Amino acid sequence: MFNGTETMIRLHQFRHEMSPLLRLAVPIVLGEVGWMSMNFVDIAMIGRVGPTPLAAVSLGSAVFVVFAIVCEGMLLGTDSLISQEFGAGRVAECFRTLWAGAQLSLPLGLICALMVAASGWLLPSLGIAPEIVRQTKPFLIAMACGLPALMGFVAMRVFLQGTHRVKVVAFAMVSANIVNFVGNYALIYGHFGLPALGATGSGISTTLSRFYMVCVLLSYLAWRSRHENWQLLSYAGKLYFDRIARIVRLGAPAAAQIALEVGVFSASTLAAGRLGAIAVSGHQIAMSLVSLTFMVPLGVAQATSVRVGNAIGRRDAEAANVSGWSGLALSASFMSCSAIVLWTLPLPIVHIFTREPEVVKVGVSLLAIAAAFQFFDGVQVTAIGALRGSGNTRIAMIADIVGWWLVGLPLGAWLCFAQRWGVRGLWFGLSAGLISIGCLLAVAWRRRVKWLRRELVAESAMSSGAAPANPNS
């Protein structure tokens, strides 16, 4: 009887939570889809030029994304801080955290840009074909020029998402695709009197679109500050070293977790590069598709992180619990539908990118494997978002070490090279790792909720007017 009543209450709570979660998640999802669509468009447009430029953009993007995601991960420490401060009604603290994130983003972006530009010279030592390396180097230099702008955009985006102003972020990301498409058309193929630069043109176009996104958010923040009397510039005259230190303490494990995840996919792309242009092209097409479907649960995960953080800022552990599980249910449902599409329609999907028979064959075989892990991919990323909103960024890092680097990559490399399964072996190994991570993180969120309940109840018992506890302890 008790269990039945508890289930009815829980379902009622889920229904109540879904509306605000979707209002927050839909614009973020649109933004993330717009973000990923840039890479989708890049791959589709460069794929028309030939397998070698496609391989160059694929490898260059795999290298670039490692550095970019590590930088972005460091700034994700602002996520839980801003969402909890906003939930507690401390809006001025949100402004200070915004500036702290901006102060951290510029040096991070500059350092990583130099590393991206220099990384092209390491590719020959990895056994990458010389003709691919020749086109990858200038592509990486072009992409590196946009990294500081990308980090500034991330700092502003996290602030706007944490304070529930997400429509402008979606607009910036989606409209940037128009800038990127026109730039690709002009610079890849040589239209409007411009030279045909191939892979390098794709990198320049992407960089221009990122500067455009920064301009959109800067303009919006200036407008909001003027019309709502935020006085953002009054917070700019101070270096927030203590707040930056808090962001780094939260962001470093998040950055490590993202680097572990992105690193394993970049390593798999480099491994596929050793198998030749056909293998790496088919691999990148499949990777682009699963990355595109991943943007939906990634957006849900960010909304879930904000909702969980807002609840903890209000000192409401039960609301945090419902927000977390609602996000997990939403992501798992979407990714189950995605799995059906990838399983039943692989050929027409791959034909969006290329008609090369050998590349199509590889891409179709990989999408069948991708369908098997879609559900778990949605679960793991949303659990990470819920945990991050609660202030815990360490468990995801541990789960990724186990799932990706102890299970997925070793198994994939063994199947690929020792068992001669080729690129399909890499994907079987990565699938096994991803499934294990999804299971580990779902259990971790369940345990985190129990911890939050104990801590917040104890805090309330001690003093109803006490300062909020640090959920990282």
pLDDT tens digits, the chain, 473 residues: what are they?
Answer: 334 444 444 677 778 888 889 988 888 888 777 777 777 788 778 877 877 888 888 788 878 877 887 788 788 778 778 988 888 888 888 889 899 988 998 888 899 899 988 888 888 877 777 888 888 899 999 999 999 999 999 899 889 988 888 889 889 988 999 999 999 999 999 999 888 898 899 999 999 999 999 999 999 999 988 888 888 888 877 888 889 998 888 888 888 887 788 778 778 877 887 787 788 888 878 888 888 888 899 889 989 999 999 998 888 888 999 999 999 999 999 999 999 999 999 999 998 888 888 889 999 999 999 999 999 999 999 999 999 999 888 899 899 999 999 999 999 999 988 888 988 999 999 999 999 999 999 999 999 999 988 887 677 666 554 444 444 43
Q: Output the pLDDT for position 4.
A: 45
Q: How many CB atoms lie within 10 A of CB 245?
A: 13
Q: Output the pLDDT for position 238.
A: 85
Q: Torsions phi, psi of 212, nearest 5?
A: -60, -45
Q: Output the pLDDT for position 263.
A: 74
d(Cα 279, Cα 421) in Å, to the nearest integer? 12
Q: What is the pTM of this model?
A: 0.75
CA 366 from chain center: how many Å? 22
Q: Output the pLDDT for position 468.
A: 46
Q: Whose structure tokens read 């510029």?
A: 106
d(Cα 212, Cα 149) in Å, to the nearest integer? 9
Long-range contacts of range 352-357, CB-CB < 8 Å, 24 or more positions apart? 352/44, 353/43, 353/44, 353/47, 353/285, 353/288, 354/47, 354/48, 354/54, 354/281, 354/285, 356/51, 356/278, 356/281
User: Pseudo-torsion of CA 362, 366, 367, 373, nearest 10°?
Assistant: 180
Q: What angle do CA 195, 285, 402 make, to 5 degrees?
A: 125
Indicate the helix (H) or strand (E) that contains 366. Answer: helix 357-389
Q: Which two tokens stand for residue 231?
A: 């006085």
Q: How many CB atoms lie within 10 A of CB 469?
A: 16
- Asked if 272 and 283 touch (Cβ cutoff 8 Å), the reply is yes
d(Cα 440, Cα 434) in Å, to the nearest integer? 10
* Cβ-based neighbours of 424, under 8 Å, separated by 6 or more: 365, 366, 369, 415, 416
Q: Which two tokens stand for residue 104?
A: 């951290």
Burial 290-324 (b: 16+ CB within 10 A, else e): bbbbbbbbbbbbbbbbbbbbbbbbbbbbebbbbbb
Domain residue ranges in the chain = 12-462
